[in-house]
Amino acid sequence: MTTPVDWRAYGPPDLSAPLASALSIFVEQGYHGTSVREIAGRAGLSVPGLYHHYPSKQAILVGLMSAAMDELIERSKQAQDQAGPTAQQRFDAVVESLLLFHMHRRDQALLGSTEIRSLEPTNRADYVARRDEQQRMLDAIVVAGIETGDFDLQHPADASRAVTTMCVGIAGWYRPDGPLSPADLTEVYLAIARRIVGAGR
């Protein structure tokens, strides 16, 4: 995605049949509890057919986690770029983007949180680097907000991580049929995030 998009709009995940099948099974029974044969069967492929697309189960996991992180970072960048000029406006937009992603892409987000342990060392390092890129985006906004007086706090890095952790945690319990809509939950959690960084004091 290189042109401006509506970062608030979500359709079905843009995943190939093998990745979509792997995602559903990994969520149900975990990475280590899933066989390549099961993934192939759910995708309507033979095992050799699946290997034509992905050479290993590890490659499938990397494909899923990379796709999720790519989308998250791109949506966050779009949110920041389309926000107003103040740190408060950019903070609100990026936090809203994080919240919406972890509701609308909760299975992929949850997989990223729980199966990072299943990545091989090099793949884990690559994933952590992308995750850190997302975190640094919010860190920089919080620091800028302190400098401009938008935010009043003494520990910006800790506050920024606390906000991100709160947003990520939503993927573990949010359900579309719950009592609050994504818009309602965003309003509630954005208010909490603002308090964490001392906005409006």
Rounded to a whole number of angstroms, the CA Rg of the chain reads 18
Q: What's the pTM value of the predicted model, to 2 decimals?
A: 0.93
d(CA 8, CA 101): 9
Query: So where are the chain's domains?
Result: 57-196
Rounded Cα gap, residues 60 and 153, in angstroms: 42
Task: Render pLDDT for 42-98 as a digit per residue (tens, 0 to 9).
Answer: 999 999 999 999 999 999 999 999 999 999 999 999 999 999 999 999 999 999 999
Q: Mean pLDDT score of the chain, rounded to an integer?
A: 94
Of 141, 150, 134, 131, the closest CA to residue 200 belongs to: 150
Residue 22 has pLDDT above 50, yes or no: yes
Q: Which fold has domain 57-196?
A: Tetracycline Repressor; domain 2 (1.10.357)
